[in-house]
Structure 1
Amino acid sequence: MITRRTFIINTSLTAATVLALPSLAFSMYKKEIGLQLYTLREELPKNVKAVLEKVAASGYTNVETYGFSIKDQFWGLSPVELKKILDENNLKAVSGHYNLGSFLYDGNTAELIASIEAAKTLKSEFLTVPWVDESFRKSLEDYKKIASRLNQAAKMCADSGLKLAYHNHDFEFQKHDGVTGYEILLNGTDKSLVCFELDLYWVVRSGNDPLQLFKENPGRFKMWHVKDMDKQNQALNTEVGSGLIDFKPFFAAAKQAGMVHFFVEQENNFAVNSFQSIKTSCGFISQKLI
């Protein structure tokens, strides 16, 4: 594990190496900027149509959904109704965060099946697992069970024309008997079926280096969360380009990572308000990173 100071130094050195290798620097992703809609969780349920209009007006073309449930669907809207609003604003829900009910723990497929149908209706490419409850990730055996469940879910997704992805926080990088949970997930899942959505903020926050993960697991990180770290309080987010994380080396290594989509996310600490923050982040990315 490295310190954050060492991380900043190392990323600068690695960037020079990546930029010297055109085959690694070449970008394989469409230069479209996505937004994880959880950023707007306070506003979105109040008026989905108005919020998505503002998302499009801020420069985004892709979104990643969250919050689906069998009972409430998407903030009271059916997948068909949400797709209509997205289409009206030229937005594509290329991925969505789906909790899958209790599938990861007991194999109950009800929520998974409903999630797959919702993702298909939205014409998504990826169905993404966003979180594992703490009580189910206390040991290596727990992570092995999760990896097995991810393989099962990925097969069901593949049968429906979707790809399964797993989104990390920092807890996956805690060690259990000398091995991290994330290592178990990477090594215990089928590379041809299970992708990973790398939350760059949480990797850096945990003291690890995304570039090293790209090097050790090329092609597995099909999606990223681009979320910056506040300079004064590293537990908080900030607008992309305003914080501690230098994203340029990561984008230079996009091909090695396998990245095809990325999403801005900011969970807190908005400079003015959430709408201004997503506009600021989009502007920085379009001018400085892609």
Structure 2
Amino acid sequence: MMNRRKFLYTSGLLAASSAAASAMRAILTGHKHPALGIQLYMVTNEMTKNAKGTLKQLGAMGYTQLESYGSDKGIFWGMTNKEFKKLAAGYGMKLVSAHHNPMLLNEFEQMAAQAAEIGMKYLVCPWLGPQKHIDFFKHAADDFNTRGAICKKHGLRYAYHPHDYPYKPVDGQLPINVLLANTDKDLVDFQMDVYYTVTEGQDPYAYLKNHKGRFKLMHLRDVMKHRLPKGSEEESACDLGQGIINFPKLLSAAQDNGVNYFFVEQSRYYHETPLQSAKKNAAYLKGMRQL
């Protein structure tokens, strides 16, 4: 088990020596560097207080793609879809996708139309929650297919973002596998949060390979080298390159298997603000481009 883990998740912080840099270059050869994206939930307080100023800072850091979410002000932060698009474009960024509130059923088609109108690519379900019976996830798959058809009608795609609970057995099955098997691949994609895949003991490379083309988006955050105790209320997340995930290898494998969009989403901040963390993560990803 330890050898397998070392093979899969050797440290992302490889730039300390020329040999490590050469290894990193070899991994990245033949792959384009993905655009820098960020999930705005990471800077929710900053966006709530000053959306314009926050977007300006994110653009200056080098982010070019945004993923929004169903904030108290909606996915367009109190603006119209076109107003938000114009504001983001002024700082060199584009709104690619948004997590939506799955409970707001009556608003979904309107949201899909508004998203498509400004060239967004995805609406994403971010949460179903832990459940006691696997049939819940089978019904959820049907709902995803329905929403996927609505999105397709408007010219965009639908996806699901699994957290930790879809990797925990329910009635002897993993919900993530049930959702993959029972959703129409022509209508529903998936957004891997590599942090949860790893911390739940699953192999992100196997999921990418075995379900090639199903995972089209990815959330990026690292996992501490020394994990917090099992059952801790604190997450073991850390900035990119500070933990156990080999991001050059992961991003290359992800692109090989169909992932198109990558979003930084840090959830724990150690002696730094969310914006400082966003800047640090952007710098790490830009540093990979220079190898």
> How does the TM-score come out when normalised to structure 1?
0.85
> Is 1:140 paired with 2:137?
no
Superposed structure 1 runs of 4+ greater than 4 Å apart: none
Does the residue aligned with 1:268 lie in a helix, a strand or coil? coil
Seq. identity, %:
32
Amino acid in structure 2 at the alignment position of 1:245: I
Q: Is the 8 A contact 1:68 1:115 kept in 2?
A: no
CA distance in 2, matches of 1:6, 1:101: 43
Q: Is the 8 A contact 2:76 2:84 kept in 1?
A: yes
Counterparts in 2 of 1:122 and 1:101: CA distance versus 1, 3 Å: farther
Match of 1:59 in 2: 62
Does the residue aligned with 1:225 lie in a helix, a strand or coil? strand
Match of 2:261 in 1: 261
Counterparts in 2 of 1:170 and 1:147: CA distance versus 1, 3 Å: same
RMSD: 2.5
What is the CA distance between 1:283 and its match in structure 2? 1.2
> Is 1:287 paired with 2:287?
yes
Summarize the alignment of residues 90-239 of structure 1 with structure 2, pairs less than 5 Å apart.
90-102=92-104, 109-134=105-130, 137-234=131-228, 235-239=235-239
Q: Is the 8 A contact 1:63 1:95 kept in 2?
A: yes
1:211-245 residue CA offsets vs partner (Å, 9 max, x unmatched): 01012111111110011123345423221111222
CA distance in 1, matches of 2:67, 2:260: 13
Deviates more, 1:279-288 or 1:192-201: 279-288
Counterparts in 2 of 1:94 and 1:73: CA distance versus 1, 3 Å: closer
What is the CA distance between 1:77 and its match in structure 2? 2.3
Q: Is the 8 A contact 1:200 1:227 kept in 2?
A: yes
Structure 2: give runs of 5+ residues left out of the alignment.
11-22, 229-234
Match of 1:84 in 2: 86
Match of 2:16 in 1: none
Amino acid in structure 1 at the alignment position of 2:132: K
What is the CA distance between 1:200 and its match in structure 2? 0.3
> How does the TM-score come out when normalised to structure 2?
0.84
Structure 1: give runs of 5+ residues left out of the alignment.
14-18, 103-108
Match of 1:105 in 2: none
Does the residue aligned with 2:107 lie in a helix, a strand or coil? helix
1:67-112 residue CA offsets vs partner (Å, 9 max, x unmatched): 256x75633223232122112112111111112325xxxxxx4121
